[in-house]
A = this chain, B = another copy of it.
């Protein structure tokens, strides 16, 4: 009954990348082991380092994949607080929406990859957000918004999908929209 494995370099590479993205998002950098990635990808552990060099470089490649977040920053400026609010509310109830952001906030305490995370937060959130803001202290306001976004991830991790299960989705979005308005206005 043993299935004979077909050789497929690109396919195997992709399976490893997919498994790593899922696991890093769920568990964070430290708690994902090479053997766990290999098992989840149904691939041999030695192939991970052959295709990606090291665990650190694999994480860097996962993080470099664009998540959904860039979509939030596009579009008209007036709807930005609302789109940020929807993004945060989505993250709070179902996690799967942005695995890259989840991996970022779950791995921020690992010194080995600190630079990778900092660069990605800078280039994907902080800088594009600050560039959209006018008035003084644009970077400060962008930082507070970033804190709220990442904090939502931590909260979700702590309490699970039912972190905010009481109120209706629309009430959460409305509250967050007003907060982001106050946060971002010049």
A interface list, Cβ under 8 A from B = 27-28, 30-31, 105-111, 114, 117-118, 121, 136-137, 139-141, 143-144, 146-152, 154-155, 157-159, 163-164, 166-167, 171-172, 175-176, 178-179, 182-183
Partner of A109, one of B143, B157, B163, B182: B157
Main secondary structure of the interface of A (DSSP, over half): helix
- A109: chain B residues at CB < 8 Å are 27-28, 30-31, 106-107, 109, 157
B30 touches A140 (CB 8 A): no
Least CB separation from A108: chain B residue: B154
Contacts A30-B31, A117-B158, A140-B175 known; list 6 others, CB within 8 Å.
A108-B154, A140-B164, A140-B166, A143-B163, A147-B152, A179-B183
B140 touches A147 (CB 8 A): no
